[in-house]
Amino acid sequence: MSKINLTVEEINALKSTEIITDDRVREKFVQIYDTMWANTTGVSGDAAYERESRFFNSLICEKEDLRTKCSKFSIFTSFLDVAISGLSVEPGVRAQAYLLSRSVNIGKGQDGKNVYVTQCVLTVSGYGELVLRARCGQIRHADNPVIVYKEDGFEFGEQNGNKFVNYTCRLPHTSNEIVAAFMKITRNDGSTDYAVLLPEDWKRLQGYSEKQNRKWDNNARSYVNGKPNDLYVADGGQIDKGFLVAKLIKHAFKTYPKARIGRGTQLESQQTEDVEINDDIYGVGKVVDTTTGEVIQTEENFGPAADTSEGVVVNPTETANTEGTANDDVF
């Protein structure tokens, strides 16, 4: 595999909107995608680049914080992480991945105060995580999530070490009161798992959202209570149905092993630490911090290892509106 010469300094010299269209970045993206996914998805690296570069640059142009505040190197690594994950950043209510800006503490300055930089982060949604889990062989399939109402029959438990759900839909749903949501997951060995959310679960998540949105009041020298995401009470005072479905998918794999993602990527369902990649997958000839571009260690440049995992790509049919999940709280 040929080396593609591209340094951190050269990346930082480009405009934010020019990084993705640089010929060397294109070549690196195509090289990674062809190595990891061409045989799995049936899509060539060239075709994937043409598609994802348009979506990616559109997001960079639309969001001022991504375009003007994020480090150039983090934009570069986030784009290559699209190739590493094999997912798409095409916008929509069932988007597989999207871009966020994140302020990262990189230590203390000479004055002893914390120093922050803004990083562009490829964030994998719950729907994208379904695809990742299937491709790496952790699951075979995930059924569409089911919302349970007060009139329905619902029982969830564990018997002989196996989770079970007994569910009966009883129409009409006159109360419109949601009492649970669940999703059936079929593992690759044919066994069954269930993800379940109950009212106490999303009430707890609502509390996390409120805490995350609180602000510091300099006059009172304390935090001011924040407002939780409006979708927690958007449906007549209870949680929005599409939002609940997205939360269910997001939290379904918290106990599963980590899926391999790039250094500049995070899953909605868990804040991942740096994923150890045994090569210089970004092709800059050095191992660097994706936040700052700082050289961590010099090592020999190897091409990305071919992905040999197998699995069925999950493609749930359209059933729920999950609008608003891209800007959701981290919990």
Whether 178 and 131 share a structural domain: no
Domain end marker among 154, 170, 195 = 195
Residue 240 lies in a domain: no
Mean pLDDT, residues 317-328 taken together: 39
Closest CA to 29 of 67, 74, 81, 69: 81
pLDDT recorded at residue 278: 35
Q: How many domains does the chain have?
A: 2
Give the tokens for residue 170.
């009883």
Is residue 15's pLDDT more than 90?
Answer: yes
pLDDT recorded at residue 46: 96
Whether 175 and 283 share a structural domain: no
- For residue 89, is it left (φ>0), alpha (ψ between -120 and 50) or beta? alpha
What pLDDT band is residue 232 in, cutting at 50, 70 and 90? very high
Taking the C-alpha atoms of residue 98 and residue 265, their distance in angstroms, rounded to an integer, is 10
| Mean pLDDT rounded to a whole number for the chain | 80
Whether 96 and 78 share a structural domain: yes
Which residues have a Cβ under 8 Å from the Cβ of 310 and sit 6 or more positions away? 135, 137
pLDDT recorded at residue 171: 94
Residue 209 lies in a domain: no
Closest CA to 132 of 282, 291, 276, 249: 249
Is residue 214's pLDDT more than 80?
Answer: no
Is residue 58's pLDDT more than 50?
Answer: yes
Taking the C-alpha atoms of residue 203 and residue 127, their distance in angstroms, rounded to an integer, is 23
Q: Is the distance from CB of 119 to CB of 101 less than 8 angstroms?
A: yes
Whether 128 and 162 share a structural domain: no
Is residue 118's pLDDT more than 70?
Answer: yes
Closest CA to 81 of 261, 226, 290, 306: 261
Closest CA to 304 of 29, 41, 24: 29
Whether 134 and 145 share a structural domain: no
Whether 150 and 133 share a structural domain: no
What's the pLDDT tens digit per position in 87-114? 999 998 889 999 999 888 888 888 888 8
Residue 243 lies in a domain: no
Residue 30 lies in a domain: yes
Whether 60 and 128 share a structural domain: yes
- Torsion 278-249-128-58 (CA) sign: negative
Phi, psi of 15, deg, nearest 5: -75, 155
Residue 239 lies in a domain: no
What pLDDT band is residue 268 in, cutting at 50, 70 and 90? confident
- Altogether, the residues listed in the chain come to a count of 331
Which burial class, exposed, middle or buried, applies to 276 when counting CB atoms under 10 A from its CB (0-12, 13-18, 19+)?
exposed
Whether 148 and 164 share a structural domain: yes
**What is the reported pTM?**
0.67
Largest CA distance in the chain: 66
For residue 155, give its domain range: 141-195
pLDDT recorded at residue 16: 93
- Torsion 231-93-84-122 (CA) sign: negative
Whether 127 and 152 share a structural domain: no
Is residue 142's pLDDT more than 50?
Answer: yes
Whether 40 and 156 share a structural domain: no
Whether 264 and 126 share a structural domain: yes
pLDDT recorded at residue 297: 40
Residue 99 lies in a domain: yes
Residue 18 lies in a domain: yes
- Torsion 145-151-152-154 (CA) sign: positive
Taking the C-alpha atoms of residue 2 and residue 87, their distance in angstroms, rounded to an integer, is 24
Decide the pairing of beta strands 265-267 and 114-124.
parallel
What pLDDT band is residue 279 in, cutting at 50, 70 and 90? very low
Whether 148 and 134 share a structural domain: no
In angstroms, the Cα distances linking 71 to 102, 170, 285 are 11, 53, 19
User: Taking each helix axis from N to C terminus, what angle separates 23-36 and 45-62, rounded to the nearest 10 degrees?
Assistant: 130
Domain end marker among 180, 195, 210 = 195
Domain end marker among 195, 223, 240 = 195
Residue 35 lies in a domain: yes
Taking the C-alpha atoms of residue 228 and residue 323, their distance in angstroms, rounded to an integer, is 16
